[in-house]
Chain A
Amino acid sequence: KAGVTQTPRYLIKTRGQQVTLSCSPISGHRSVSWYQQTPGQGLQFLFEYFSETQRNKGNFPGRFSGRQFSNSRSEMNVSTLELGDSALYLCASRGRVEDSPLHFGNGTRLTVT
């Protein structure tokens, strides 16, 4: 069974630009979550999608948005990039929503210059 696939693996952008990250969950998984990981803050929850609907949202500004498609693939978008957005962005999927663990992709390393 293929794991969670994230593209691209690395991105370099400049301040003010926008970026779109993509995530394909494990086949059959309908829940997709996004996390931002930085050395100082650790893993911080961005949002979760289930059946194309946003179920939960973390405490990030509106510049961070996401969506999920009917095939469960998900994208997240960050507009008007800031230097502080440099981070590892991790996507994770889960099978049954209740109790099941998250399975993470390899992440997208975003660098904003």
Chain B
Amino acid sequence: NAGVTQTPKFQVLKTGQSMTLQCAQDMNHNSMYWYRQDPGMGLRLIYYSASEGTTDKGEVPNGYNVSRLNKREFSLRLESAAPSQTSVYFCASSVQWGGGAGEQFFGPGTRLTVL
């Protein structure tokens, strides 16, 4: 089992460029999440997908879009990157949806720099 995988691991973009971060899990989890982590601020939820076919906004969704491609895959798209989106992005999954879901399993992260 690979768990949660993310690609790419590192990315440098210029302001205004677009890109898609890919995430896949092989644990047959229903729920998937995208977080960003910035120094001193903890992880903040961008979008989540409670189950296949549904997506919802989290705490900081502006500037992002997501696609739950199937049960395994959940992608995050930056349409027009801005320097404020420089961050470390983590994808996570859990067995069931919600704050009461218990353990979330995280991918290794994508370090994104926007110049």
* Chains A and B are bound partners: no
